[in-house]
Amino acid sequence: MTLDEIQLDALTEVINIGVGRAANSLSEITGSRIDLAVPNMYLCGTSDFSEIAKTLNLDVGTTIQQGFEGELSGRALLGFPRNNAFELACLVGDIQPGERELDEELCGVLEEIGNIVLNAVLGSIANMFDCEMSYTLPTFCTKRTFNTIICRCDDDVQSSDSIVLVANTSLRVASRDISGSLIVLFETGD
């Protein structure tokens, strides 16, 4: 699948609308202004994803995944470096950081953050293509990187026939810099 510049700009705008909606929701929850940069968009096959992941330094430590089915099927992923995920979860959950690691409570907060962001983005995509999609519940994972999730053939999504859309963005919460990446994996196989 190839997109011309106008199509990629339109897709960037659709993703940006979804990310903007998510930022507004997170701002309301935290009581802090949250700014998200317009995402840099990359479209590739799963076989090319490793190179883009290296170039963009997408080897994140925490990932929230959400599957979707319908006229468009695949998986959406939101990832953060581990320390950014911890800081964001504490802020959104109004939890004092202390000495805790990403415990069950913070993982639940991150799943809800993923739910907000991923549903906003997937909803924007569904609206753009005027199609219905159903979603799985978001799940939190610390053991696998984007690269292993995208490129493994034993996952639910047939990676050899899939298209990967990478929307790399930065998230700024008040005076904190929290960076994250959004990836949408579209299943194109039978």
Does position 155 have pLDDT exceeding 50, yes or no?
A: no
The listed range with the strongest mean pLDDT (29-38, 69-78, 111-120) is 111-120
pLDDT for 158: 43
Maximum separation of any 2 CA atoms in the chain, in Å: 49
Distance of alpha carbon 89 from alpha carbon 93, whole angstroms: 6
| H or E segment to which residue 25 belongs | helix 5-30
Q: What secondary structure letter does DSSP report for 160?
A: G
Question: Which pLDDT tens digit goes with each residue over 60-114?
Answer: 778 899 999 998 888 898 888 888 888 888 888 888 776 666 788 888 999 999 9
